């Protein structure tokens, strides 16, 4: 008897507690927090970049909240809600649905992998929830006439276009005599998309394609691919790699002493701040195409990087900068919308013209979306890995106007 | 032509290491008749153990070979004793205990996620004394870490073979693998033998970890890269066969390396799986497998 009554009391107590929690959360909602849903690869092959994006967003949200939140919404705080896509499109879609329907997020952002972002943005468009894509570069993400999708980073075709502009400029400036070119790329969506455009551009540039080789990112050994590269002996090697394979490829190339005139990567794994740490001098002389570099001469670039490094132990990189900027773009839109109504936020996003503030540490002038939601200003720089004062560094070499003072690009790689 | 020689040499070296990753799997299956799905995770544990040891002490990877495998032996011994044995006992009298397989799958997930929580998802490599060094044999460039891995793999296989053939424990292991009831009647404590088998299998994963880490990287789900291949090798070489594992590994390594010179490496993966299917159709016992296991 005694036992039963204790149970009863306990259940009443629990019920009351649950009710309090409910009420409290209602009260909390009334105080307004703006929920930002994030779908990112937090485990699996791209986890490293996903986690960097998460850390950059957290830093931006902390700064924004500490500066008084969204003032036009009575100082509403931003709250990040995460979901792990595992780089899997199916999981990405399910998690986007969950964030929108269950978590009731006001804005979505993510997903890094183009293959995940493509269907996830479709879900958001259907529900009419604004989706800010910091980086996922497949062209078509902002070419479907969607109203609620906005992208910060430059798209695929711009990356590829700039790679060939860079090669042409180097040819003219240094008389490098490029004749042959090889494509080595991961066999996913991203790599095959790049390769398709490379083929046309190489033909236009009058370069002979001597190797066109996709490989699986999860390979345990890339020696076969590098052996092929050695046999083909190209002047230029263009790469698209994820994190782990970038390390393996660079080390294997050094081992087999493959030294083309130019090795030009496309960000991603090569832009990962852990990359240099893992390959060391094997990467000397390699070129990489990135959105951002630590030597970019912009206000807040040094400060933000120092803060990020102190917190996480590595530098900001293109991907994390995009995530950081995207958070400021969202805050700016909310401030102007003075509402969390998705329609109003969408209109505010479309009218974005962000040129100042801590988020503007990017290499270009400001964020301005075209009618498809693509950031028109997004720009790209090309860096070369060099030894500066005994330390490996990524030095900006292109565009020429942005080249680090006193540095001359080196061919071939050492 | 030099590309072909290069591929053959590289394929043989990588293949021997694939064989090494399959050795523990084939040993555990041979003795316990259990397909150990946690094998890739044990390899991951071995790689992380080697990684941290080399990273913190900066010692030569060959020295780590004296430390990591014994540690892993103890780990495997007690993993079997505390986690798998109780389930095994309740499945007494079944020739191929199914629930034990499910338990090993559980162990796989637990270990992988523990590693994810403890170390994070990032890729880690450590520059050892032999990383990135190579020597030339005519036109062929041989990478030192892979050559060392090849030699260690061969020595491990021969060592294990001799151990099984000559020592009392080895004989007890073989007796249990032939007929566990009869072995029991002869006074062999089968559960202790299982502990030893699992410990040995795990120790070999530790050896593999030490030889792979100087040229590869480690992350929590790295086991998957190697264990699917290990399963194919075990079937190719014959379940439970030690020379079969090494030979199977070398065959897979050479196919992967040389075929890639004539087609894209995406295709070679498909071909390896194709061969796997053909073996299952036409010679399910593999090169050296025991027919009665099927």
Q: Over the stretch A357-388, which tens digit does the pLDDT of each residue have?
A: 888 888 888 899 999 999 998 888 899 999 88
Identify the pLDDT of residue B293. Answer: 47
Buried/exposed code over A150-168 (b: 16+ C-beta within 10 A; e: otherwise): bbbbbbbbbbbebbbbbbe
Superfamily of domain A157-290+380-402: Response regulator (3.40.50.2300)
Identify the pLDDT of residue A414. Answer: 53
How distant is the Cα of A215 from the closest Cα of chain B, in angstroms? 5
Q: Does the beta carbon of B55 lie under 8 angstroms from any beta carbon of chain A?
A: no
Q: Does the beta carbon of B180 lie under 8 angstroms from any beta carbon of chain A?
A: no
Of the two residues A127 and A2, the one the predictor is more confident about is A127
pLDDT of residue A308 exceeding 90, the answer is: yes
Q: Is A103 helix (H, G, I), strand (E, B) or coil?
A: coil
pLDDT of residue A17 exceeding 60, the answer is: no
CB A365 within 8 A of CB A355: yes
Residue ranges of domains in chain B: 2-223
Which of A220, A244, A256 lies at the smallest CB-CB distance from B123? A244
With CA atoms as reference, report the closest residue to A40 among A141, A124, A140, A108: A108
Which residues of chain A have a Cβ shorter than 8 Å from any chain B Cβ? 42-44, 47-48, 51, 187, 213-216, 218-225, 227-228, 230-231, 243-244, 247-248, 251, 254-257, 274, 278, 280, 282
pLDDT in tens, A117-156: 999 999 999 999 999 999 888 888 999 999 999 999 988 8
* Region at B110 (left for phi over 0; alpha for psi -120 to 50; beta for the rest): alpha
Least confident of A100-104, A322-326, A405-409: A405-409
C-alpha span between A147 and B250 (Å, rounded): 55
Whole-prediction pTM: 0.77
Query: DSSP assignment of A142-202, as one string?
Result: G-S--SSEEE-SPPHHHHHHHHHHHHHHHHHHH-----EEEEEEESSHHHHHHHHHHHHHH
Cα nearest neighbour of A51 on chain B: B121
Of the two residues B20 and B177, the one the predictor is more confident about is B20
Token pair 């913190």 in the structure block, residue: B56
Identify the pLDDT of residue B123. Answer: 83
Token digits of residue A186: 């991961």
Q: Is residue A5 packed enough to be buried (19+ CB in 10 Å), middle (13-18) or exposed (0-12)?
A: exposed
Cα nearest neighbour of B122 on chain A: A48
C-alpha span between B65 and B158 (Å, rounded): 16
A47:B122 CB<8 A: yes
pLDDT in tens, A212-251: 999 988 888 899 999 999 999 999 999 999 888 898 899 8
Strand-pair partners of A287: A264, A384
Q: Is B251 helix (H, G, I), strand (E, B) or coil?
A: helix
* Region at A369 (left for phi over 0; alpha for psi -120 to 50; beta for the rest): beta
pLDDT in tens, B275-292: 888 888 888 888 887 655
CB A274 within 8 A of CB A243: yes
Which of B132, B261, B266 lies at the smallest CB-CB distance from A227? B261
Identify the pLDDT of residue B287. Answer: 81
Average pLDDT over every residue of B71-89: 93
Least confident of A21-35, A191-205, B72-86, B210-224: A21-35
pLDDT of residue A353 exceeding 80, the answer is: yes
Quickly count: other Cβ atoms within 10 Å of residue A313's Cβ.
9
Token digits of residue B59: 């010692």
pLDDT in tens, B155-166: 999 999 999 999
Which of B225, B256, B264 lies at the smallest CB-CB distance from A213? B264
| List of chain B residues whose C-beta atoms are within 8 Å of the C-beta of residue A278 | 123-125, 217
pLDDT of residue A31 exceeding 70, the answer is: no
CATH 3.40.50.2300 fits A31-154+298-368, yes or no: yes
Q: Integer distance in angstroms from the first to the last C-alpha of chain B?
A: 42
Cβ-based neighbours of A253, under 8 Å, separated by 6 or more = A226, A229, A263, A282
What distances in angstroms separate CA A36 from CA A26, A39, A354, B36, one per listed residue?
Answer: 18, 10, 19, 42
For CA atoms A92, A93, A99, A100, give the dihedral sign. positive
How far does CA A71 lie from the centroid of its chain? 28
Q: Integer distance in angstroms from the first to the last C-alpha of chain A?
A: 84
Cα nearest neighbour of B255 on chain A: A224
C-alpha span between B282 and B294 (Å, rounded): 13
With CA atoms as reference, report the closest residue to B272 among B263, A20, B223, A174: B263
How distant is the Cα of A235 from the closest Cα of chain B, in angstroms? 19
A227:B269 CB<8 A: no
Q: Dihedral of the CA atoms A252, A258, A259, A263 (nearest 10)?
A: -50
Identify the pLDDT of residue B152. Answer: 96
C-alpha span between A159 and A267 (Å, rounded): 10
Cα nearest neighbour of B221 on chain A: A44
Identify the pLDDT of residue A374. Answer: 94
pLDDT of residue A27 exceeding 70, the answer is: no
Of the two residues A166 and B120, the one the predictor is more confident about is A166
Identify the pLDDT of residue B64. Answer: 92
pLDDT of residue B214 exceeding 50, the answer is: yes
Identify the pLDDT of residue A236. Answer: 94
Q: Does the beta carbon of B125 lie under 8 angstroms from any beta carbon of chain A?
A: yes
| List of chain B residues whose C-beta atoms are within 8 Å of the C-beta of residue A274 | 122-123
**Strand A391-398 with A381-388, pairing:** antiparallel
Q: SS3 breakdown of chain B: % helix, strand, coil, rounded to 5?
A: 75, 5, 20
Which of A51, A255, A256 lies at the smallest CB-CB distance from B121? A51
Cβ-based neighbours of A406, under 8 Å, separated by 6 or more = none
C-alpha span between B141 and A130 (Å, rounded): 54
C-alpha span between B250 and B256 (Å, rounded): 10
C-alpha span between A89 and A94 (Å, rounded): 9
Of the two residues B250 and A20, the one the predictor is more confident about is B250
Average pLDDT over every residue of B187-204: 93
How distant is the Cα of B164 from the closest Cα of chain A, in angstroms? 30
pLDDT in tens, A56-108: 999 999 999 999 999 999 999 999 999 999 888 999 999 999 999 999 999 99
C-alpha span between A348 and A334 (Å, rounded): 7
A215:B120 CB<8 A: no
Report the mean per-residue pLDDT for chain A. Answer: 87
Identify the pLDDT of residue A370. Answer: 92
Token digits of residue B208: 């593999």
Identify the pLDDT of residue B25. Answer: 93
| List of chain B residues whose C-beta atoms are within 8 Å of the C-beta of residue A221 | 10, 14, 256-257
Identify the pLDDT of residue A30. Answer: 46
Which residues belong to CATH 3.40.50.2300 in chain A?
A: 31-154+298-368, 157-290+380-402
CB B217 within 8 A of CB A247: yes
């Amino acid at each position: 008897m005694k036992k039963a009554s204790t149970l009863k009391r306990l259940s009443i107590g629990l019920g009351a507690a649950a009710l309090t929690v409910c009420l409290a959360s209602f009260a909390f909602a009334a105080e307004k927090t703006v929920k930002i849903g994030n779908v990112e690869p937090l485990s699996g092959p791209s986890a490293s970049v996903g986690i960097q994006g998460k850390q950059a967003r957290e830093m931006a949200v902390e700064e924004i909240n500490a500066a008084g939140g969204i003032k036009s919404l009575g100082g509403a705080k931003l709250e990040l809600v995460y979901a792990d896509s595992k780089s899997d499109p199916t999981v990405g879609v399910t998690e986007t649905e969950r964030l929108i329907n269950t978590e009731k997020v006001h804005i979505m952002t993510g997903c890094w992998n183009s293959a995940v972002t493509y269907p996830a943005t479709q879900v958001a468009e259907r529900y009419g929830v604004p989706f800010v894509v910091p980086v996922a570069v497949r062209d078509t993400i902002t070419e479907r006439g969607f109203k609620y999708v906005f992208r910060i980073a430059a798209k695929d075709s711009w990356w590829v276009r700039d790679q060939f502009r860079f090669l042409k400029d180097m040819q003219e400036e240094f008389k490098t005599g490029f004749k042959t070119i090889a494509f080595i790329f991961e066999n996913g969506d991203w790599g095959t998309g790049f390769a398709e455009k490379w083929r046309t551009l190489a033909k236009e540039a009058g370069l002979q394609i001597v190797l066109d080789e996709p490989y699986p990112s999860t390979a345990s050994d890339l020696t076969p691919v590098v052996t092929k590269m050695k046999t083909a002996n190209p002047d230029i090697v263009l790469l698209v790699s994820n994190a782990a394979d970038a390390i393996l490829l660079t080390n294997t190339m050094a081992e087999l002493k493959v030294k083309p005139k130019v090795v030009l990567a496309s960000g991603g794994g090569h832009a990962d701040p852990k990359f240099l740490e893992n390959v060391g001098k094997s990467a000397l002389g390699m070129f990489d195409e990135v959105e951002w570099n630590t030597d970019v001469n912009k206000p807040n670039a040094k400060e933000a990087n120092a803060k990020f490094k102190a917190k996480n132990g590595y530098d900001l990189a293109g991907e994390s900068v995009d995530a950081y900027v995207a958070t400021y773009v969202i805050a700016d839109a909310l401030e102007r919308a003075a509402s969390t109504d998705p329609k109003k936020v969408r209109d505010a996003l479309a009218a974005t013209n962000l040129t100042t503030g801590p988020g503007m540490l990017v290499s270009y002038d400001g964020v301005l979306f075209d009618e498809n939601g693509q950031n028109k200003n997004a720009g790209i720089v090309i860096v070369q890995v060099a030894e500066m004062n005994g330390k490996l560094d990524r030095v900006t070499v292109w565009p020429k106007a942005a080249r680090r003072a006193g540095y001359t690009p080196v061919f071939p790689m050492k | 032509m030099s590309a072909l020689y290069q591929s053959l040499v590289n394929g043989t070296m990588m293949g021997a290491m694939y064989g090494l990753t399959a050795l523990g799997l084939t040993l555990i299956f041979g003795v316990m008749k259990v397909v150990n799905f946690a094998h890739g995770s044990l390899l991951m544990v071995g790689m992380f153990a080697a990684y941290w040891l080399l990273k913190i002490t900066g010692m030569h990877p060959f020295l780590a070979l004296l430390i990591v495998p014994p540690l892993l032996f103890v780990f495997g011994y007690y993993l079997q004793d505390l986690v798998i044995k109780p389930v095994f006992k309740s499945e007494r009298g079944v020739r191929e205990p199914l629930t034990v397989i499910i338990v090993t799958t559980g162990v796989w997930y637990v270990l992988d996620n523990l590693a994810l929580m403890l170390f994070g998802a990032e890729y880690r490599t450590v520059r050892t004394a032999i990383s990135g060094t190579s020597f030339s044999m005519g036109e062929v460039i041989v990478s030192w870490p892979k050559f060392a891995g090849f030699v260690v793999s061969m020595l491990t296989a021969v060592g294990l073979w001799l151990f099984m053939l000559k020592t009392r424990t080895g004989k007890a292991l073989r007796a249990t693998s032939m007929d566990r009831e009869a072995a029991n009647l002869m006074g062999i404590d089968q559960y202790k033998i299982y502990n030893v088998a699992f410990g040995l299998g795990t120790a070999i994963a530790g050896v593999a970890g030490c030889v792979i880490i100087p040229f590869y990287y480690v992350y929590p789900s790295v086991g998957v890269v190697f264990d699917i291949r290990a399963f194919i090798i075990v079937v190719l070489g014959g379940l439970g066969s030690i020379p079969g594992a090494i030979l199977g590994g070398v065959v897979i390594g050479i196919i992967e390396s040389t075929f890639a010179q004539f087609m894209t490496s995406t295709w070679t993966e498909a071909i390896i799986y194709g061969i796997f299917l053909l073996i299952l159709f036409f010679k399910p016992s593999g090169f050296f497998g025991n027919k009665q296991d099927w």
